[in-house]
A and B are shown apart, each in its own frame.
Chain A
């Protein structure tokens, strides 16, 4: 039975010129009136951000005891959320940097808002290490600054490595994103009619005029930044996984963690990219730029990384049995039969079984199905971090040390609040900056090719 091979969907719908591409994207920022939907969405996100500030304020006033952390589970939602957010951020850098190095032109329409997503995700992530310490007013002690107490950070600790890794990641992501924006800010400067907008975009555009010499240096810097960002992305989540892997707790002390965490990060990151891209392309009419091809490719990346994550779970379970180590075997038994078993089983369903439907082409190309499956994956990845942190801590070596972890309302308020902060930032970004890279879209057009 022969199946007709469907031609691949285009990366950009035909029929566009340099001018129409520019108009379509810049008009969203410059001329399109702000819709009621935007105000509603931003309003809700802003309120959630306020809730987060309230929860954090109360935390500073009363202390970490308002959260569910206790002995033996000394690390709860804070670390789970930190790892979840950082993981989400990695897809943006992968799309911007790694797909650039692999010459995948389909990255051009999604890299701008994916990088913005990374920045906001890293900001949300960065909040947790700062607030979850017992004395948050001393959080600056994590940095090696010269001080009168003659003390320094301890460089053999993955927590200190985290400080450097996440700070580097945040800085490089910001620089990469801003540099990518400069030519588009110049476009907005030249197209805006409002004097204030001209000045603001003009100052931010740094006087960019599109000189060939400048473009040449720019392209080199961009490529080198991508080359630097690629190992950075891999190293950041590896360092985050070291937070667990260098400890001795069963379920944490395993060498599978670095690749497993990185694959999981890309998995959840692409899920978030899709959950943002699908509504954005619908409400702003950008289906010609973010085509079925983008949805398909993202789904395929999710499928691949999902299988790597599934392998990670499999090897963990296998080693639980094969090692013969009673604590590792108990970990496996506890995950399947202990008090948190329903969560572990949901995790397996969300991360391994449900996303397998992406093998079906029809579901890979349906925006609604992808949106739902991405949501399931995001939930699953959160559950994975929860299982890793809580289940390993609540029953480790000595049975007299066993306990239970129950998150409090403040845990939830802080977490949901950071989601609100992330969404509020995304709404603002979409309103005031071009969410698709205009100059990179121009390079996709057939007219952009220099014919000999």
Chain B
């Protein structure tokens, strides 16, 4: 794992590492850095799909709930309105869409990220505490096919980092 001082250096290092053929890499920063995810080769963002599914589910179930309650299970005459009074159903359908969309967004994002994950090997590196403050890290996982302790270390040194740490498993 290599430590850098600025997001620009990290993005550049990430590009070069990915181009060198390392695939199982990750980068850590105290705030979202533009272009970093692409630099480490991450392209499959499934969050929008999850939110769409959630929203559709919410809207359909909200409407279905109202329809079943108002037209089938407990139909009552309110001001002469038809049992299937769809204009009145719009509001709750809308709210349910937003509710489910939002819940799926949050929990879907957390699930896709694998969070909560209280333990991860990187936490064993003392300097990693600065990842949530003002330092930027790049890691090559040992599960990468191109990984070799000495080769990879030499490669990372070539990126001119502030420091290099070995992450105990």
In the complex, A381 has a CB within 8 A of chain B: no
B26: chain A residues at CB < 8 Å are: 211-213
Report whether B116 and A207 are in contact in the complex, using a CB–CB cutoff of 8 Å: yes
Report whether B37 and A215 are in contact in the complex, using a CB–CB cutoff of 8 Å: yes
In the complex, B145 has a CB within 8 A of chain A: no
In the complex, B35 has a CB within 8 A of chain A: yes
Which of B33, B94, B123 interacts with A215 by CB under 8 Å? B33
Report whether B33 and A450 are in contact in the complex, using a CB–CB cutoff of 8 Å: yes
Q: A17-B134, A156-B78, A213-B42 are in contact. Are A168 and B33 (CB under 8 A)?
A: no
Report whether A203 and B31 are in contact in the complex, using a CB–CB cutoff of 8 Å: no
Q: A154-B76, A215-B29, A451-B8 are in contact. Are A19 and B134 (CB under 8 A)?
A: yes
Q: A164-B96, A168-B95 are in contact. Are A175 and B32 (CB under 8 A)?
A: no
Q: What are the interface flags for B17-48 relative to A under an 8 Å C-beta threshold, 1 for contact and 0 otherwise?
A: 00000000011111111111101101001111
A345: shortest Cβ distance to chain B, in Å? 35
Q: A155-B66, A213-B37, A216-B37 are in contact. Are A172 and B89 (CB under 8 A)?
A: no
Which of B32, B66, B91, B128 interacts with A216 by CB under 8 Å? B32
Q: A155-B88, A172-B102 are in contact. Are A218 and B133 (CB under 8 A)?
A: no
Interface size class of A (residues with CB under 8 A): 35 or more
In the complex, B7 has a CB within 8 A of chain A: yes
Report whether A224 and B31 are in contact in the complex, using a CB–CB cutoff of 8 Å: no
**Bound: A206/B116 CA distance, A:** 4
Chain A binding surface SS class: helix
Number of A-B contacts (CB under 8 A): 217
Report whether A229 and B102 are in contact in the complex, using a CB–CB cutoff of 8 Å: yes
Report whether B113 and A155 are in contact in the complex, using a CB–CB cutoff of 8 Å: no
Which of B30, B78, B108, B120 interacts with A221 by CB under 8 Å? B108
Report whether A164 and B74 are in contact in the complex, using a CB–CB cutoff of 8 Å: no
Which of A155, A158, A208 interacts with B70 by CB under 8 Å? A155
In the complex, B103 has a CB within 8 A of chain A: yes
Q: Which residue of B lies closest to A179 (CB)?
A: B106
Q: A22-B134, A150-B74, A190-B133 are in contact. Are A210 and B117 (CB under 8 A)?
A: no
Report whether B40 and A213 are in contact in the complex, using a CB–CB cutoff of 8 Å: yes
Report whether A210 and B99 are in contact in the complex, using a CB–CB cutoff of 8 Å: no
Q: A206-B110, A221-B106, A450-B35 are in contact. Are A228 and B98 (CB under 8 A)?
A: yes
**Bound: A397/B113 CA distance, A:** 61
**Bound: A157/B66 CA distance, A:** 12
In the complex, B140 has a CB within 8 A of chain A: no
Q: Which residue of A lies closest to B109 (CB)?
A: A221
Chain B binder among A282-290, A326-334, A439-447: A439-447
In the complex, B129 has a CB within 8 A of chain A: yes
Q: Which residue of A lies closest to B129 (CB)?
A: A190
Report whether A206 and B69 are in contact in the complex, using a CB–CB cutoff of 8 Å: no
Q: A209-B120, A212-B37, A450-B35 are in contact. Are A224 and B47 (CB under 8 A)?
A: yes
**Bound: A210/B37 CA distance, A:** 12
In the complex, B59 has a CB within 8 A of chain A: no
Which of A167, A168, A220, A447 interacts with B6 by CB under 8 Å? A447
Q: A168-B95, A212-B26 are in contact. Are A19 and B133 (CB under 8 A)?
A: yes
Report whether A235 and B76 are in contact in the complex, using a CB–CB cutoff of 8 Å: no
**Bound: A217/B40 CA distance, A:** 14
Which of A152, A154, A191, A235 interacts with B73 by CB under 8 Å? A152
In the complex, B56 has a CB within 8 A of chain A: no
In the complex, A239 has a CB within 8 A of chain B: yes
In the complex, B164 has a CB within 8 A of chain A: no
Q: What are the interface flags for A116-150 relative to B under an 8 Å C-beta threshold, 1 for contact and 0 otherwise?
A: 00000000000000000000000000001000001
Which of A217, A224, A439, A442 interacts with B113 by CB under 8 Å? A217
In the complex, A160 has a CB within 8 A of chain B: yes
B46: chain A residues at CB < 8 Å are: 217
Q: Which residues of A contact B (CB under 8 A)?
A: 17-19, 22, 144, 150-158, 160-161, 164-165, 167-168, 171-172, 175-176, 178-179, 183, 186-187, 189-191, 202-203, 206-221, 224-225, 228-229, 231-232, 235, 239, 242, 439-440, 442-443, 447-451
Could you list some 11 contacts between A and B, CB below 8 A? A22-B132, A156-B79, A171-B102, A179-B106, A190-B129, A215-B37, A218-B32, A220-B45, A229-B102, A442-B31, A449-B8
